[in-house]
């Protein structure tokens, strides 16, 4: 007994001292880095700086962390055909997945350096906030509160969408205006839940909403007749109609009740990483405008057009401020092609989803896809 207590009395002050020490240390550690400090942490071309951890970790280090790790952790959906969907071998495809690959190619020159983290609607934001993923590329709507109070920054819009309804043909419903009193299935933690409330309030109609955590559950509840309608982004409706027992028994109603600009997002406070993600997206869109494709990117290196040369890094040093090589955009384009190619390959009219470009066409072709110039 006496020996026990003497052992304890030797260990305890040590532990206690450690804890108190940590507490005191906390006071003297530098506060959150602000402004200028951030920039100096990662000079253009600087070697990756692994091992910077702890509360004083300077912002601007996502790129360093990603490089040290050797791959990008990309948050995607748990399965939405055309956007991010795993096949039976675990290979991911979709426009959101292609974007992850484009960023990996821009950073590493190798599009395969990505690990996908499937996230349902409810968990995606916590995963990004906590640093579990470096980038969320998961049909996520850009809204003000997500941008301002959840601590995120959206890099742009990869797909202009809007919310719609799916109903059974047999119900005889042809317009959302006939949904007064209906029960509607949806997924929890989405903008969908809020738009639904807004729409029915605005139309002075009553409704019952049944939100499920997992999308499959919401869809199967609708399929089983627990709900009269299923609602989500129109793109999602088209994709999910295909996985119902008998797709032809269901129709998408013509009304689009909201604006859903879907885009990739990152944590706020790391301007360099944000710029990398944003300009990768812009480069993909600019490339379509300039006619640069995955097939002709190498020929275009010698193009006479200064715009193309700047994009592909044969003129100017546009990669350096991002902390990347000057061929960053060329690497991305070689891997996934330009925006138009990504669209047609994953969701376009020749795919099972069969979605026309519509709003997502280039601004020159009557859409709203428009990227600032690289210069």
Partner 1 sequence: MRWSWTDPRMRALVWQVAALAATLVTLWYFAAMAHQNLARQHIATGFGFLDNTAGFGVVQTLIPYSEESSYGRAFLVGLCNTLLVAALGTVFAVMLGFVVGVARLSTNWLIARLATVYVETLRNIPLLLQLFFWYFAILQPLPGPRDSLTLLPGIFLSNRGIVMPAVETTPSTAAFVLCLLTAIAAAIFIGRWAKARKLRTGESFPTLIVNAVIIIGLPGLVWLIASAAFALAPPVMGKFNFEGGWRVLPEFLALLLGLTLYTAAFIAEIVRAGIQSVGRGQTEAAHALGLSSGQTLRLVTVPQALRVIVPPLTSQILNLIKNSSLAVAIGYPDLVSVFAGTVLNQTGQAIEVIAITMAVYLIISLAISFAMNLYNARVAIVGR
Please report whether residue 243 would count as binding partner 1 according to CB under 8 A: no
C-alpha–C-alpha distance, residues 72 and 54, integer Å: 20
Residue 334 neighbours by CB under 8 Å, 6+ apart: 105, 294, 297, 298
Give the position of tokens 């009269």.
Answer: 228
Please report whether residue 170 would count as binding partner 1 according to CB under 8 A: no
Nearer CB in complex with ligand GSH: 127/362: 127
Pick what 139 binds: partner 1, ligand GSH, none; C-beta below 5 to 8 Å, kind-dependent: ligand GSH
Pick what 233 binds: partner 1, ligand GSH, none; C-beta below 5 to 8 Å, kind-dependent: ligand GSH
Please report whether residue 363 would count as binding partner 1 according to CB under 8 A: no
Helix (H), strand (E) at residue 28: helix 2-28
Q: In this chain, which of 116, 165, 212, 328 binds partner 1, going by CB under 8 A?
A: 212
Eight-class DSSP state of 46: P
Please report whether residue 258 would count as binding ligand GSH according to CB under 6 A: no
Q: 278 and 196 in contact (C-beta within 8 Å)? A: no
Instruction: Kindly state the greatest CA–CA separation across the chain.
Output: 88
Q: Shortest gap between Cβ of 257 and ligand GSH (angstroms)?
A: 13
Nearer CB in complex with partner 1: 207/343: 207
Please report whether residue 204 would count as binding partner 1 according to CB under 8 A: no
Distances in Å between the alpha carbon of 22 and those of 15, 32, 305?
Answer: 11, 17, 59
C-alpha–C-alpha distance, residues 228 and 207, integer Å: 10
Please report whether residue 133 would count as binding ligand GSH according to CB under 6 A: no
Please report whether residue 55 would count as binding partner 1 according to CB under 8 A: yes
Pick what 215 binds: partner 1, ligand GSH, none; C-beta below 5 to 8 Å, kind-dependent: ligand GSH
C-alpha–C-alpha distance, residues 116 and 93, integer Å: 11
Please report whether residue 181 would count as binding partner 1 according to CB under 8 A: yes
75 backbone φψ class: left, alpha, beta (φ>0; ψ -120 to 50): beta
Pick what 120 binds: partner 1, ligand GSH, none; C-beta below 5 to 8 Å, kind-dependent: ligand GSH
Residues forming contacts to ligand GSH in the complex (CB under 6 A) are 77-80, 120-121, 139-141, 187, 190-192, 215, 232-233, 236, 260, 262
């Amino acid at each position: 007994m006496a020996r026990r207590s003497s052992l304890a009395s030797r260990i305890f002050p040590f532990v206690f001292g450690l804890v108190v020490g940590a507490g005191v240390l906390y006071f003297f550690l530098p506060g959150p880095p602000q402004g200028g400090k951030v920039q100096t942490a990662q000079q253009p071309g600087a070697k990756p700086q692994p091992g910077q951890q702890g509360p004083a970790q300077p912002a601007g280090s996502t790129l360093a962390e990603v490089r040290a790790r050797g791959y990008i952790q990309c948050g995607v959906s748990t399965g939405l055909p055309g956007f991010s969907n795993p096949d039976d071998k675990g290979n991911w495809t979709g426009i959101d997945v292609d974007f992850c690959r484009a960023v990996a190619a821009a950073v590493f020159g190798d599009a395969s350096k990505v690990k996908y983290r499937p996230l349902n609607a409810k968990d995606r934001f916590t995963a990004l906030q906590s640093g579990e993923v470096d980038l969320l590329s998961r049909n996520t709507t850009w809204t003000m509160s997500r941008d301002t109070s959840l601590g995120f920054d959206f890099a742009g819009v990869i797909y202009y969408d809007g919310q719609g309804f799916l109903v059974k043909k047999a119900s005889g419903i042809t317009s959302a205006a006939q949904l007064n009193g209906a029960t509607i299935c949806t997924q929890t933690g989405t903008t969908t839940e809020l738009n639904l409330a807004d729409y029915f309030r605005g139309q002075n109609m009553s409704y019952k909403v049944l939100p499920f955590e997992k999308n499959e559950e919401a869809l199967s509840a609708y399929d089983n007749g627990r709900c009269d309608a299923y609602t989500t982004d129109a793109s999602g409706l088209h994709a999910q109609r295909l996985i119902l027992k008998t797709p032809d028994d269901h129709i998408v109603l013509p009304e689009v009740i909201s604006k859903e600009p879907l885009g990739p997002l990152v944590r706020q406070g790391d301007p360099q990483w944000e710029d990398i993600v944003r300009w990768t997206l812009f480069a993909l869109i600019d490339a379509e405008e300039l006619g640069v494709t995955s097939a002709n990117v190498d020929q275009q290196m010698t193009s006479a057009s200064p715009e193309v040369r700047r994009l592909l890094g044969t003129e100017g040093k546009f990669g350096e401020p991002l902390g990347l090589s000057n061929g960053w955009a060329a690497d991305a384009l070689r891997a996934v092609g330009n925006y138009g190619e990504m669209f047609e390959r994953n969701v376009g009219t020749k795919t099972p989803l069969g979605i026309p470009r519509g709003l997502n066409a280039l601004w020159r072709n009557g859409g709203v896809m428009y990227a600032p110039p690289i210069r």
